[in-house]
A and B are shown apart, each in its own frame.
Chain A
Amino acid sequence: MEQTQHHSPKHHIIGFIWSLLLTFAALWVTLKAPIPVGLRLTIIVILAIFQFVVQLVYFMHISEGDSKVFQIINLLYGIFVAVATVAGSIWIMLYNTM
């Protein structure tokens, strides 16, 4: 187990800087980027996914514990159901408003 890195705040500070950078990048893309709205939305969703990964890796220690493989599989399955629910609902309702 990689314990040593967790006893210095360096790991957390890097995570925090990343999360601030990603937040302000998303704000800038939304308000100022000279690109079509659809592309702006795609970029901020990608930035949010990176932000999620930053929290998991730097703060939540996802890769720790004896059951780390299972907790990652469980999380991926949760994400799969979430994506299917959200994307599926939007897809269906697109045709509802036509």
Chain B
Amino acid sequence: MAAISEKATSSGPLEYSTEEGSLKIFGFWIFLGAEIVLFATLFATYLVLHGQTAGGPTSKELFEVRDFMIETLLLLTSSFTCGLAVLEMRKGNKKGYMAWMAITLLLGLGFLGMEIREFVTYVSEGAGLSRSAFLSGFFILVGTHGAHVSLGVLWILCVMAQIAKRGFTPMTARKAFITGLYWHFLDVVWIFIFTAVYLTGVVT
């Protein structure tokens, strides 16, 4: 209960200090529940079509263990640095938040770069979206996640710009916390892509 940082109110973190802040964070959790269902439909589609390669390349032939491990480690580490950024935000340390968030974004961009390179390689090998039902399912599932990461990078940049200008207020702290939740959630989705698409894809 004790206010550890001078910036936080006695009742807890700044982002929860107003009723609006609390409600919007709760609202974001509801949105994440809907996102789980959205991704579940794409996972279901991919998993039932995994074997339908129409004579084209199979997942075993396409996936490179080294590449998807690097993608996974980049995203896992970015989730960790994002957590550290929110921790600095709660201490009221703007510089710390900015630095950890910049690292998070660089790791996120590294992930996107790897993913785009992977997609370009597949397409150049004749394994594009329309080659087989398996590849349609693959590109839609992994691509939807990639689009979320891209959106996340842009969104976080906007929030960082606002914090650079206004510092931490109940509003900017709430935005920083919510973008953090979004980023961690994208890592959660990736864990299931890593497991159900890549790891499963190299053995079956």
Q: Which of B38-46, B109-117, B119-127, B157-165 contacts A (4 or more CB under 8 A)?
A: B38-46
- Asked whether B36 is an interface residue with its Cβ less than 8 Å from the other chain, the reply is yes
Please classify the interface of chain B as helix (H, G, I), strand (E, B), loop, or mixed, using the class held by over half of its residues. helix
Q: Assess the A7–B80 pair: CB atoms within 8 A.
A: no
Nearest chain B residue, comparing its CB with the CB of A88? B44
Q: Are A55 and B188 in contact (CB under 8 A)?
A: yes
In contact, B48 and A93 (Cβ under 8 angstroms): yes
Chain A hits for B87, CB < 8 A = 6-7, 9, 12
Query: Given A12-B83, A58-B83, A82-B40, are A1 and B1 also a contact pair (CB < 8 Å)?
Result: yes
CB distance from A54 to the nearest CB of B (A): 9
Which of B25, B40, B188 is close to A86, meaning CB atoms less than 8 Å apart?
B40
**B22 contacts the other chain (Cβ, under 8 Å)?**
yes
Q: Does B150 contact A (CB under 8 A)?
A: no
CB contact list, A44-67 vs B, under 8 A: 44-45, 47-48, 51-52, 55-56, 58-60, 64-67
Which of chain A's residues have a CB closer than 8 A to the CB of B26? 65-67, 70-71
Size bracket, chain B contacts: 35 or more
B13, B30, B80 — which one has the most chain A CB atoms within 10 A of its CB? Answer: B80
Give the dominant DSSP class at A's interface. Answer: helix
Q: Is the CB of B79 within 8 A of A44?
A: no
Name the distance in Å between A86's Cβ and chain B's nearest Cβ.
Answer: 5
Set of chain A residues within 8 Å of B153, measured between Cβ atoms: none
Q: Do A86 and B47 have beta carbons less than 8 Å apart?
A: yes
Contact status B16-A48, CB under 8 Å: no
Interface flag for B69 (CB, 8 Å): yes
Task: Assess the A89–B4 pair: CB atoms within 8 A.
Answer: no
From B25, B37, B43, B48, give the contact of A65 (CB < 8 A): B25
B184 touches A60 (CB 8 A): yes
Are A60 and B181 closer than 8 Å at their CB atoms?
Answer: yes
Is A85 within 8 A of B37, CB to CB? Answer: yes
- Whose C-beta in chain B lies nearest to the C-beta of A41? B200
Contact present for A90 and B48 (CB under 8 Å): yes
Does B199 contact A26, Cβ atoms closer than 8 Å?
A: yes
Complex CA gap A92/B44 in Å reads: 11
Give me the 7 closest cross-chain CB pairs, A-B, nearest first. Answer: A82-B40, A78-B33, A89-B44, A78-B36, A71-B29, A93-B48, A16-B80
> What would 7 A/B residue contacts be, using CB atoms closer than 8 Å?
A7-B90, A7-B91, A37-B204, A41-B200, A44-B199, A45-B196, A67-B26
